[in-house]
Copies of this chain bind each other. A is one copy, B any other.
Amino acid sequence: MIRVLIVDDHEVVRQGLRFVLGQEDGIEVVGECADGAHALAAIPALRPDVVLLDMVMPGMDGLAVLRELAGGPAVIVLASFLDDERVIEAVRLGALSYLSKTTAVDRVVEAVRAAAVGGSVLEAGTAALLIERVRQDRRRNPMDLLTPREREVLAELARGRSNAEIARSLRLGRETVKTHVSSILAKLGLADRTQAAIFGLQQGLIRLDEALDS
């Protein structure tokens, strides 16, 4: 008997999963939780073999639960979307399968049975993401090309500041700022400061909603 714990903040999803898994031979749903904290508290008593874990939950999200669960029961992550970064991170943290909620329920059942013996069920989209990541790692993060000072200047660019403002902000001469900006453009292969600003935002140096403030 495979003991399954369902962790999802959506009641309809929990009911759906319980209903589907309940009809399967050899699978028993031993509990369900609406958030990560309750799940971690309940696991010692429920002793599940497999945890079906929602990625997006209020409070403690799926990744946080995964971190705490290292070495415990097998985990299958259920997500509404295949968010690139989260897939990678979840797999790194030991998730066996990473399924979208759009997946046919048969696949979920399949993943549960596989997880009970340490196996994985990968969707086409997930597999593609993992491969893409390996590819990306080869053509390295362009940010590594920049010196610490250049990264500071790039962050200022991403805020929408002029050379003179950056000079004041970082206590530099305007000529020095120009030198850094030129290096940034050359190293990243960008045409002008506007493209640099966009790049900085894409890299998350500055949150989009906190740019332009001031």
**Among candidates B10, B15, B212, residue contacting A19 with C-beta atoms closer than 8 Å:** B15
Query: Which residues between 55 and 79 of chain A lie within 8 Å of chain B, taking CB atoms?
Result: 56, 58
Residues of B within 8 A of A195 (CB): 160, 212
Q: How far is the CB of A152 from chain B (nearest CB, A)?
A: 17
Q: How far is the CB of A122 from chain B (nearest CB, A)?
A: 19
Residues of B within 8 A of A13 (CB): 10, 12-13, 16, 101
Residues of B within 8 A of A17 (CB): 12
Query: Which residues between 182 and 214 of chain A lie within 8 Å of chain B, taking CB atoms?
Result: 190-195, 197-199, 201-202, 208-209, 211-212
* A14–B193 alpha-carbon span in the complex (Å): 49
Is the C-beta of A9 less than 8 angstroms from some C-beta in chain B?
yes
* A145–B133 alpha-carbon span in the complex (Å): 42
Interface size on A, residues (CB 8 A): 39
Is the C-beta of A179 less than 8 angstroms from some C-beta in chain B?
no
Is the C-beta of A105 less than 8 angstroms from some C-beta in chain B?
yes
Given A15-B20, A80-B56, decide whether A197 and B197 contact each other with a Cβ distance below 8 A.
Answer: yes
* A209–B14 alpha-carbon span in the complex (Å): 34
B197 touching A202, Cβ below 8 Å: no
**Which residues of A pack against B, CB within 8 Å?**
9-17, 19-20, 56, 58, 80, 101-105, 108, 157-158, 160, 162, 190-195, 197-199, 201-202, 208-209, 211-212
